[in-house]
Amino acid sequence: MNLMTSEAALRLNQAANPAEATVDVLFFAIADTILGKVLLARSAKGVCAIVLGDDAAELEADLAIRFPEATLVANEVMVHDDLAKVARYAEKPSEGLDLTFDMRGTPLQRRIWEQIRAIPLGKTMSCMHLARLINSVYPWVAARVVANACAANPIALAVPCHRVIRTDGELAGYRWGSERKRDLIEKEAQA
């Protein structure tokens, strides 16, 4: 993991406009929320990761695996406002989650994630229904692609993959745990 101090990272990009930085620097911090621990990371362009879990070291390791070329900088100041919005959203989903994103994925993954973001609060959609929206000709193939895009989603809550369920109405898997998925769906249904 390429972890450096905040001061070193800031010196590294000091002369450059952050949006034009040649080094991919991701600032991150971890907070305790009602969902457990939440790691939020952002680049100069926006939030690129919201990761849920129970162990801070595991969250940091996940971030390093997802962004192996990035320089990771633990810096609560740089992500404070974004992290506070995520914590508020966890408490009260009806207030929405207004963040700027740096969605990193393939064009198809980003297209699927945008479709998932369109699922209204308090609603769910089957993987097959979502697949038909993506590819009405071969939905059974697209359903696997949708499931893979959900598994690759680095931005929990903002790309609400927890709202994607099986065709039979069962919850199916969730990268951050089935219990957490159930809790999110129930909380959003009450919002």
Q: Which two tokens stand for residue 69?
A: 């070329």
Catalytic residue among 48, 127, 150, 161: 161
Active-site residue, 48 included: no
Distances (CA, A) of 123 to 56, 76, 117, 162, 190: 30, 33, 11, 10, 11
Dihedral-angle region of residue 92 (phi above 0 means left; psi in -120 to 50 means alpha; beta otherwise): beta
Phi first, then psi: give them for residue 133, nearest 5 degrees.
Answer: -65, -35
Catalytic residues: 161
